[in-house]
């Protein structure tokens, strides 16, 4: 088990899920690209890691979720005197509506936790072909569960959790499967429910696009409250 720190910063800026890449770009430009935790790019190209700063839509408005060292990096954003963000052709004056700091125990447990995940992108080129060549539904679920296990392993390792215990993950229901555009490519996304022995904080993301609103996880017991506040 590892106690991790994360901070959620809620702004007054209404956004749609599809606006999050522009929101991310605007924040990155505001910080003048000085800290790679905001954009995960270095001199050699993309830095492959679990995103320490994630750009979210929470309660219908733009938010930042910062993990571990990302909670310190956010000061680079707050140190700016210009609180305007340019998203596309529009300039937005933003204000912070709420800041909440949390400590959360991430670990691999004996008991299981039930979650819902939205806009999850599990299929890479290899398992996409395998998935669509498979006609057996149970075999398709196995492919998705393997992808989910990989995402959970990456998440726990990146958060500094000792991973000698076996991670389990079972998909319990698929609500929706749809095609979305991600980095100029058409990909399948899923809204679904799963059970795992890994503890995950609300609003954390798993899988591709985790920094811009894909693969957002929410605990089942909090779903009714989540719907009330429009966390999607």
**What are the pLDDT digits (tens) for 25-49?**
999 988 888 889 999 988 888 888 9
208 exposure class (CB count in 10 Å sphere: 0-12, 13-18, 19+)? buried
User: Quick one: CA dihedral 138, 176, 66, 40, positive or negative?
Assistant: positive
Give the whole-angstrom CA distance, residue 232 versus residue 165.
Answer: 32
Average pLDDT over residues 81-105: 87
- The β-bridge partners of 101 are 7
For residue range 109-142, what is the model confidence (pLDDT) as tens digits? 999 999 999 999 999 888 888 898 998 999 999 9
pTM for this entry: 0.89
For residue range 156-187, what is the model confidence (pLDDT) as tens digits? 999 999 999 999 999 999 999 999 988 888 89
Domains in the chain and their CATH numbers?
A: 2-104 (2.40.30), 107-228 (3.30.70)
* Tokens, residue 91: 């300039």
Confidence of residue 209 (pLDDT cuts 50, 70, 90): very high
């Amino acid at each position: 088990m590892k106690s991790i720190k994360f901070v959620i910063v809620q702004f007054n800026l209404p956004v749609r899920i599809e606006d999050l890449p522009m929101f991310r770009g605007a924040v990155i430009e505001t910080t003048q690209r000085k800290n790679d935790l905001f954009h995960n790019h270095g001199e050699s190209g993309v830095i492959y890691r679990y995103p320490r700063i994630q750009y979210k839509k929470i309660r219908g408005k733009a938010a930042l979720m910062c993990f571990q060292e990302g909670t310190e990096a956010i000061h680079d954003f707050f140190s700016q005197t210009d609180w305007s963000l340019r998203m596309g052709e529009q300039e937005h004056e933003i204000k912070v509506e709420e800041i909440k700091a949390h400590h959360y125990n991430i670990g691999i447990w004996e008991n299981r936790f039930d979650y819902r995940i939205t806009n999850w992108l599990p299929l890479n080129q290899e398992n996409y072909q395998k998935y669509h060549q498979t006609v057996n539904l149970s075999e398709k679920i196995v492919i998705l569960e393997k992808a989910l296990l990989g995402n959970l392993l990456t998440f726990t390792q990146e958060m500094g959790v000792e991973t000698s215990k076996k991670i389990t993950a079972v998909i319990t229901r698929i609500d929706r499967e749809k095609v979305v555009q991600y980095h100029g490519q058409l990909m399948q996304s899923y809204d679904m429910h799963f059970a795992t022995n890994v503890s995950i904080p609300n609003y954390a993301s798993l899988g591709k696009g985790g920094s811009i609103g894909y693969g957002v996880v929410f605990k089942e017991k909090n779903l009714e409250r989540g719907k009330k506040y429009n966390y999607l």
